[in-house]
Structure 1
Amino acid sequence: MTTTNRTTGPKTKLQKAAQAVGAVFLLVGILGFIPGITSNYDTLSFAGHDSGALLLGIFQVSVLHNIVHLLFGVAGILMSRINDQARNFLLYGGVIYLILWLYGLIIGHDTPANFVPVNNADNWLHFVLGIAMIALAILLSRETYRSRGATTR
């Protein structure tokens, strides 16, 4: 059974990748609000470095951080409907995550500038996500254009 797209026919691997990445972000955003999966849930604050809640006991989260994951997930799922938008989600989303990685390295974790909040585990996850998303965008775009022809997007 093939998955169809109302504007471009069957979904490309690029679209499926963007949809999967979006679904993972959506899931992470939901999990950040579930006590037990998020440890120290009673210390979950709206924003700021003082939120002591840890997703999976590792990644520092806040209500704002979870909302960002939810919105990013919804964007990925919606943008996966069109091949060019799927590529843009992965490419520019990856760039955003690399910027967040740099931001996390530069700011002090116990300062008001850490309003999202992030910790070392978040920083390195952001780095891996940024590289992976950019790689998916580039590699799967090449495959899509080779298999469909350079003029089809």
Structure 2
Amino acid sequence: MTQSPNRLLGVVLGTVYILLGLLGFTVTNGVNFLATEGGLLVGILGLNGFHNVVHIVIGAALVLAGISNRQAARTANSTIGFAFLILGFAGLLLVGSSLNILALNAADNVLHFASAVVLLLVGLGADKRATGVSA
């Protein structure tokens, strides 16, 4: 796994997102599951129950792909990176609207754009010659 940047990134970033999701439940007690404004994790990241679940699911997908093989990790990183890029742009429009079912705020948008850049750079740029299912 340490020989594949995609596998390593998937496991590390996936673990971070799982932890974000789990920790998010500590600040969303009493917040509606789909509230447009939620609790703040570390004082800046807006979260509601749905947003926490999404973080856990995305984190689990990254970790599972990362422990699987290079191609799975590369595909997951690229796909989730692209989804984060779309979410980042959508978040710019959703903040402050009644359609903001993830309770997104500006800090969330920054996190999603940053995650998108890292996942896409590694997903599209690393492990290009990997053809096997191991390592």
| TM-score, structure 2 normalization | 0.87
Q: Does 1:23 align with 2:15?
A: yes
Name the structure 2 match of 1:67. 53
Aligned residue number for residue 120 of structure 2? 134
Q: Secondary structure at the match of 2:127?
A: helix
The answer for unaligned runs of 5 or more in structure 1 is 4-9
Task: Work out which of the residue numbers 42, 50, 57 in structure 1 matches 2:37.
Answer: 50
SS at match of 1:141: coil
Q: Find the counterpart in structure 2 of residue 106 from structure 1.
A: 93
Task: Look up the SS of the partner of 1:45 in the other structure.
Answer: coil
1:13 equivalent in alignment to 2:11: no
Give the greater-gyration-radius structure (CA). 1
The superposition leaves residues 20-58 of structure 1 with CA deviations (integer Å, 9 ceiling, x where unpaired) of: 111111111111112xxx3xx45522012132x001110
Q: Using the alignment, how far apart are the partners of 2:56 and 2:5 within structure 1?
A: 23
Instruction: Tell me: CA distance 1:118–1:152, structure 2 relative to 1, closer, same or farther (3 Å).
Output: same
Runs of 5+ unmatched residues, structure 2 = none
58-67 or 10-19, larger mean C-alpha shift:
10-19
TM-score under structure 1 length normalisation? 0.77
Q: Aligned residues, how many?
A: 132
Residue 152 of structure 1: CA displacement?
3.6
Q: Give the corresponding residue for 2:82.
A: 95
- Counterpart code for 1:20: V
* Aligned-pair identity (%): 27
Contact kept? 1:44, 1:61, Cα under 8 Å: no
